[in-house]
Structure 1
Amino acid sequence: MKKRIFRNFTIIICFALTIGSVMLYLVMSSILLEKEKENLMTTLKTLDYAQGDLLENDAIFKNFLDDEDERLTIIDEQGKVLLDSGVEDAEMMENHLQRDEVKEALRDGFGYDIRFSDTLKENMLYAAYYNESVHQIYRISTPYHGLAAYGYMLVPLLLMTLGVSLLISLWMAKRFSDNSVKPLEEIAAEIAKISKRGAALHFKNYDFEELRAITSALTQMKQELETTISRLEQEKLIRTEFFSNASHELKTPLTSIRGYAELLNSGMVKEEQYAQCIARIMIESDHMIELINDILMISRLEGKHMDAQATTFDLGALIQDIVDAQMPLALKDQIQVHTDLAHVEVVAAKRYMQELANNLITNALKYNRANGQVEIELTKEETGIKLIVEDSGIGISEENQARVFERFYRVDEGRDKKVGGSGLGLAIVKHIVHYYEGTLHMHSKLGIGTRITVHLPILAKQIDH
């Protein structure tokens, strides 16, 4: 890259020097031509003052010439040559009326032309002046080679100037290429650290805004990459713990089922105990099926794979049905359930809403105390619905509140085993809320109770009764 920048920069410099030289040549040629014209015209004007004796006195005529290569000609208005310093018999010369400098002098008073002379075999500069008082045209000519005549002086000077300019330009080109590539090399060295975990990127504060934008983007990319890797590692750890916990949770009912099956197979079970063993196997089978279904639901919710179609239904009526179904559990411990359920027509997956409400209500009953209270409230908001489930149960400590929504996390392992459940209820609630991009808030105190508030931004409409 450095060589390419240097090469391109050198080409541009050489092109610029060439263009500059050509323009300088044209400007100097123009200045030289104007100077020659001015000198010739000065000679002609001087000649005009002495014109009375010119045609009779050849010596005076020739004294006006500064150079032996110059020619002086007097022409009348019809183009006839009256006198020429280079020709003995001027009357034998052809008519000059169609010469450009003559026509221009007759029209404007002054005329100029540059052309090749067949007589002298070289380029000549012609200057003509029209004297109206005597009706004659005075013309002077001189060899004209432009700057080529000064080549022996200009060429060495020009070559020296170009050489110095080229050396300075090449030095600047090399410095520019080095300064341009060096920041990129430094940035490339830092980029190599991106793949190294925990390695910080250190960029200089470069003068170019574009380079600062690149370094800023790379720093942000490094930070995002570190965050992504941390998140993936965390997710990997969570998955590992999940499969470990799932295996443990499945192992328990399977061990129980196998134990009862072996007991039945041994023939040692009395007839009156046979039905009890079968019932226990059925309970453990249901527990295992419930656990598997909960695991599958969490997996689908995490992957945003909708396995239940959205329908329109009365969410208040659905929650009331869940409360009615759980009344035996409430009556067992004399728990009073109070509901304030608005009839809200929502568009959502009915199965997910049923899982969410059922897990919250079931937990409020299971982890309550005898003669306790459960308050359930459903209201419609501008952006969706709000569901509050509050109990007067055992409560949750602050250190455990942050983890109760984790999969298989149990605050009190002994009590949780006693009341049953897969340990995934609140994890399912959290995933359903996140699926609908809602919010979930818990407020709990030990020995006082727990209140869980859910906001879901789903399409909802108040039903008037």
Structure 2
Amino acid sequence: MTSKIFRNSFLVGVAVFFLSIALFMGVLYQYFGSQLLIQLESEAALAARGVEMGSMDYLDGLSSANRITWIDAGGTVLFDNQADPAQMENHADREEVRAALESETGTASRYSTTLSQRTLYFAQRLADGTVLRVSSEQRSLPSLLLSMVQPILIILVLAVALSAVLASRLSKHIIKPVLAIDLEHPEDSDTYEELTPLLSRIKQQNQTIAQQMAQLRQKQNEFTAITENMSEGFLLLDRQGRILSHNSGALRLLHAAAPEERASYLTLNRTERFRQAVDAALTGRRDEQLVDLGGRCCQLLANPVIQDGQVAGAVLVILDVTEREQREELRREFTANVSHELKTPLTSISGIAEIIKGGLVKPQDIPGFADDIYGEAQRMIRLVEDILRLSQLDEGGSSLQTEEVDLYHLAQEVAGRLTPAAVKGQVTLEVTGGPVRISGVRQLLDEMISNLCDNAIKYNRPGGRVTISVSRSDRGAELSVSDTGIGIPPEDQSRVFERFYRVDKSHSKAIGGTGLGLSIVKHGAAFHGADLSLESQPDRGAPPPGPTPPGRAGRPAGPPSASPSPAKT
């Protein structure tokens, strides 16, 4: 704006200079013309006086820079100091001559386009009726300007310099109040009154912008609060694949550092599936991919952003579905195991029934076959009961009723019930400790102790021992089961509580069982808020009970294929 004001002021100054020169030269030209005419009139009066007194002799002796012509009343040239009168044409029709004949004096001016000169004429009638004319050439305005080029140029340079200085100072002076306007608070600015409507409009615009910015900040904060508290990853890309927005969840799942502004999505991940999903979204197609990100299974959802019928970018959502996939895998394994476990007794029952139906069984053998059918049916019932119990615990056990239970008394009941099995396996089963009362689900606690002791008996050696210890310490109630069995290899100890997991499948098949006992122990301990721990070494059995955190479950017995370790509740 300063340069524009300077330029306009400078041009105005220069234009004023040239107009002034033109006006001055015009006035000067007219002034010189009038002065020349006065001079001609004076010279004509003197020449007329001389002619009247001395006739032609006066004119011959007269020396003048102007042209003097004497003309008779008929227009014939009698004398001319610059030309031969005999060669000159009749001047009766000349304007100044006619005027002089009529009214004693006459003036005229004629312009010669050939010579670019103007000639002024003054004619005076004498007493004898003749006319004396004096004329002089006046320089044209262009020639006058050319004769004054040097002073005009000097004045022009000075005028231009002065115009530049004045224009510069004027532009700065004009723009200074404008530059001093506080755009944040324009109403407080001391400036031109003409700018008051503009400043009022700026104030209104500032208020509108401030409101809009506050709304944008609020929406941005809300968006950030939502996305930053998402466990899922979020990415927003433009049509070139540059990152417009992201949350910390995306960086965490992609194991990437924060990208630079407008960086490509490839700076976060370059795997083929990731690129396929993004490319599909940027071409207008929704895509879904399962990708492995740092050992985690993640689901990538890529959706195009459509604006005015064109793809403006893409939105990517990254979900960590590792646990879901693991649960799905466990579900498939559980379904397969249940199917297998149910199919085995059903196959046995169907085979025995088919033999009996075909009459191939002797009457004295029927009780044995019936006993086999009963055993397989009981095995199926136990399996179904265990599955229902696990399903109940998976759902939170809301239908289970808690009551006050004496763990020592309950352990004695379980030991009494398992004594025949222990005697059959040549294992000594004993209960140590004293009364300890807790709040729990009696039936579930019974099943937990039974499963631990049953495993300890099944995977023991002839002449072995199983000890159930019940005690209370400053950390809470404690129940442990220790044995002298075959032990559990270290590599299998982390999996013995999985459903249907067996360390030695051949041995497990020989001794029976559903493969769900220790899983029920694990879920039962979690239901009661107890800690569960396992200590075992191959061929050495489980050690005597050791300390555990207060009020938590202790070490459970091992799976059916290994010796159980002490368990504490």
- How does the TM-score come out when normalised to structure 1? 0.55
Question: Structure 2: how far apart are the matches of 1:300 and 1:196?
Answer: 29
TM-fit CA distance, 1:298: 0.5
One-letter amino acid matched to 1:362: D
Question: Structure 2: how far apart are the matches of 1:218 and 1:173?
Answer: 35
Find 2:378's aligned residue among 280, 286, 292.
Answer: 286
* Cα 1:272–1:390 shift into 2, 3 Å: same
Larger radius of gyration: 2
- Residue 337 (structure 1) aligned with residue 372 (structure 2): no
- Residue 438 (structure 1) aligned with residue 519 (structure 2): no
Question: Structure 2: how far apart are the matches of 1:438 and 1:318?
Answer: 17
Structure scoring higher RCO (CA < 8 A, sep ≥ 6) equals 1
Structure 2 residue matching 1:444: 3-state secondary structure: coil
One-letter amino acid matched to 2:508: D
- The unaligned stretches of length 5 or more in structure 1 are 1-12, 25-153, 204-211, 459-465
TM-fit CA distance, 1:257: 0.8
Match of 1:271 in 2: 363
Question: Structure 2: how far apart are the matches of 1:450 and 1:389?
Answer: 8
- Residue 421 (structure 1) aligned with residue 513 (structure 2): yes
TM-fit CA distance, 1:288: 0.1
Contact 1:190 1:202 in 2 (8 A): no
- Residue 356 (structure 1) aligned with residue 391 (structure 2): no
* Cα 1:176–1:401 shift into 2, 3 Å: same
- Residue 381 (structure 1) aligned with residue 480 (structure 2): no
Match of 1:324 in 2: 416
Match of 2:108 in 1: none
Contact 2:227 2:247 in 1 (8 A): no
Structure 1 residue matching 2:542: 3-state secondary structure: strand
- Per mean C-alpha deviation after superposition, the further-off stretch among 226-235 and 401-410 is 226-235
- Residue 158 (structure 1) aligned with residue 250 (structure 2): no
Question: Structure 2: how far apart are the matches of 1:404 and 1:290?
Answer: 19
One-letter amino acid matched to 2:352: Y
Deviations 1:366-422 (A, max 9, x none): 111121122221112345411111111111111110110001111111111111110
Match of 1:347 in 2: 439
Match of 1:304 in 2: 396
Structure 2 residue matching 1:407: 3-state secondary structure: coil
- Per mean C-alpha deviation after superposition, the further-off stretch among 230-239 and 266-275 is 230-239
Question: Structure 2: how far apart are the matches of 1:429 and 1:368?
Answer: 19
Structure 1 residue matching 2:503: 3-state secondary structure: coil
Find 2:491's aligned residue among 385, 399, 402.
Answer: 399
TM-fit CA distance, 1:429: 0.2
* Cα 1:167–1:376 shift into 2, 3 Å: same
Deviations 1:312-350 (A, max 9, x none): 232211111211222222222322234313112232211
One-letter amino acid matched to 1:402: S
Deviations 1:40-60 (A, max 9, x none): xxxxxxxxxxxxxxxxxxxxx
Structure with the bigger percentage of helix:
1
- Residue 315 (structure 1) aligned with residue 350 (structure 2): no
TM-fit CA distance, 1:306: 3.8
Structure 1 residue matching 2:404: 3-state secondary structure: strand
Question: Structure 1: how far apart are the matches of 2:387 and 2:504?
Answer: 21
Question: Structure 2: how far apart are the matches of 1:183 and 1:361?
Answer: 63
- How does the TM-score come out when normalised to structure 2? 0.45
Structure 1 residue matching 2:332: 3-state secondary structure: helix
Question: Structure 2: how far apart are the matches of 1:379 and 1:227?
Answer: 47
Contact 1:385 1:455 in 2 (8 A): no
Contact 1:373 1:391 in 2 (8 A): yes
* Cα 1:275–1:455 shift into 2, 3 Å: farther
- The unaligned stretches of length 5 or more in structure 2 are 1-181, 238-244, 256-297, 299-316, 553-569
Question: Structure 2: how far apart are the matches of 1:228 and 1:433?
Answer: 28
* Cα 1:456–1:324 shift into 2, 3 Å: farther
Find 1:253's aligned residue among 345, 348, 359.
Answer: 345
One-letter amino acid matched to 2:533: H
Question: Structure 2: how far apart are the matches of 1:190 and 1:307?
Answer: 39
Question: Structure 2: how far apart are the matches of 1:436 and 1:293?
Answer: 20
Give the count of matched residue pairs.
302
One-letter amino acid matched to 1:444: S
Structure 2 residue matching 1:445: 3-state secondary structure: coil
Structure 1 residue matching 2:321: 3-state secondary structure: helix
Match of 2:314 in 1: none
One-letter amino acid matched to 2:334: F
* Cα 1:405–1:322 shift into 2, 3 Å: same
Question: Structure 1: how far apart are the matches of 2:509 and 2:470?
Answer: 30
Alignment of 1:185-200 (within 5 A): none
**What CA RMSD, in Å, does the superposition of the two structures yield over aligned residues?**
4.5
Contact 2:434 2:470 in 1 (8 A): yes
Question: Structure 1: how far apart are the matches of 2:549 and 2:350?
Answer: 44
TM-fit CA distance, 1:439: 0.6
Contact 2:234 2:249 in 1 (8 A): no
Deviations 1:148-206 (A, max 9, x none): xxxxxx9xx22326536856996998799689959978997998999998x57699xxx
One-letter amino acid matched to 2:424: K
- % of aligned pairs identical? 31
Question: Structure 1: how far apart are the matches of 2:343 and 2:550?
Answer: 36
Structure 1 residue matching 2:532: 3-state secondary structure: strand
Match of 2:335 in 1: 243
- Per mean C-alpha deviation after superposition, the further-off stretch among 225-234 and 184-193 is 184-193
TM-fit CA distance, 1:216: 6.1
Question: Structure 2: how far apart are the matches of 1:306 and 1:322?
Answer: 25
One-letter amino acid matched to 2:413: D
Contact 2:460 2:483 in 1 (8 A): yes
TM-fit CA distance, 1:309: 2.2
Find 2:462's aligned residue among 350, 365, 370.
Answer: 370
Match of 1:139 in 2: none
One-letter amino acid matched to 2:412: Q
